């Protein structure tokens, strides 16, 4: 199976894109809803939670896992790939959303001025800044943490007039950039509002679509992994907490209702 992990429901927007381009594979989604948000936590905790989740997905039979969570990709992925995986599961792979998104942004920008909106944890990690500058040392990166957006979206308040005011404030530093990375799973839900505020001269990069295209490419370049992935078109959704709001939020991110299984990591 291909495992897809997020701190909560938001990663369903990434899985949704995978299903568009690679529908035949079997997917196991895990949302750590009991411990969301990751975006306000320390490195140590994000790394520990992410390792537990990845370990759980491997024990369920996943061979390849994508961290759909930007905070986990920014703060835990490098350590998992370089230290944890070689010790624990040397033949298995964990990928993230950050590198595909950064590559796309560098390919698209004309002005070499790239904006990033993300959780506090992702901004503090400087991962976007570092990776963007690794690809092109000339790019200027403007980052803005948007801590209010995840709670707004999780409360279903995206149409509330206050959301527009908050977005305007968060987006004020980006007038001079031509490319804005939506560096958090949840933000693609607000894509149209963000585009309307910034105007047509700004390209928005959503990690879901970009990572899906890179996954197609990855599987083509890694037949030794591709051959291990089963292709019966099944999807299972696991969560570490099942609240009455689950169905509503899952529908918001996935586009249709789904049933999920409660698990303990
Ligand atoms: N999934 C997280 C991300 O993409 C957002 C929610 C959280 O803070 O855990 O950064």
pLDDT at 162: 96
Q: What is the mean pLDDT of the chain?
A: 96
Q: Which domains does the chain have, with CATH numbers?
A: 2-96+209-262 (3.40.50.1860), 99-207 (3.40.50.1860)
**CA 244, CA 250: separation in Å to the nearest integer?**
11
Q: How many helices (H) and strands (E) does the chain have?
A: 14, 10
**CA 40, CA 6: separation in Å to the nearest integer?**
15
Q: Give which of 167, 97, 98, 172 is closest to 132, Cα–Cα.
A: 98
Q: pTM of whole model > 0.75?
A: yes
Do 188 and 152 form a contact (C-beta atoms < 8 A)?
no
Atom of ligand 1 nearest to the CA of 39: 8
Q: What is the pLDDT of residues 87-144, one digit of tens each?
A: 999 999 999 999 999 999 999 999 999 999 999 999 999 999 999 999 999 999 999 9
**CA 154, CA 141: separation in Å to the nearest integer?**
28
Give residue 250's pLDDT band: very low, low, confident or very high (50, 70, 90): confident
Angle, vertex CA 22, rays to CA 91 and CA 243, nearest 5: 85
What is the distance in A from the centroid of ligand 1 to the CA of 227? Answer: 31
pLDDT at 215: 98
Strand partners, 237: 29
What is the distance in A from the centroid of ligand 1 to the CA of 151? Answer: 10
- Does the beta carbon of 122 sit less than 6 angstroms from any atom of ligand 1? yes
Angle, vertex CA 29, rays to CA 241 and CA 160, nearest 5: 65
Annotation marks residue 69 as catalytic: yes
Can you tell me which residue has the tokens 């509002």? 193
Give residue 247's pLDDT band: very low, low, confident or very high (50, 70, 90): confident
Ligand 1 binding pocket mutation candidate from 4, 5, 7 (most atoms within 8 A of CB): 7
What is the distance in A from the centroid of ligand 1 to the CA of 225? Answer: 28
**CA 169, CA 57: separation in Å to the nearest integer?**
39
% of the chain exceeding 90 in pLDDT: 92
């Amino acid at each position: 199976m291909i495992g897809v992990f997020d701190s909560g429901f938001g990663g369903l927007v990434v899985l949704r894109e995978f299903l568009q381009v690679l529908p035949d594979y079997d997917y196991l989604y895990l949302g750590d809803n009991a411990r969301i948000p990751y975006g306000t936590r320390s490195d140590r905790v994000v790394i520990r939670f992410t390792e537990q989740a990845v370990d759980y997905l491997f024990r369920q039979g996943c061979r390849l896992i994508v961290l759909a969570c930007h905070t986990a990709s920014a703060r835990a992925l490098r350590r998992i790939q370089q230290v944890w995986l070689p010790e624990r599961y040397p033949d298995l792979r964990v990928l993230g959303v950050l590198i595909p998104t950064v590559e796309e942004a560098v390919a698209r920008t004309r002005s070499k001025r790239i904006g990033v909106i993300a959780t506090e944890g992702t901004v503090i990690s400087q991962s976007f800044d570092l990776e963007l500058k690794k690809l092109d040392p000339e790019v200027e990166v403007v980052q803005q943490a948007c801590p209010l957006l995840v709670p707004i979206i999780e409360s279903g308040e995206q149409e509330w007039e206050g959301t527009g005011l908050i977005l305007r404030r968060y987006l004020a530093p980006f007038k001079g950039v031509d490319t804005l990375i939506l560096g958090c799973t949840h933000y693609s839900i607000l894509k149209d509002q963000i585009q309307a505020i910034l105007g047509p001269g700004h390209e928005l990069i959503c990690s879901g679509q970009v990572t899906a295209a890179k996954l197609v490419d990855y599987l083509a370049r890694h037949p030794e992994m591709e051959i291990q992935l089963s292709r019966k078109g099944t999807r299972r959704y696991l969560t570490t907490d099942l609240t009455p709001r689950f169905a509503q939020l899952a529908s918001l991110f996935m586009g249709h209702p789904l049933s999920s299984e409660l698990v303990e990591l």
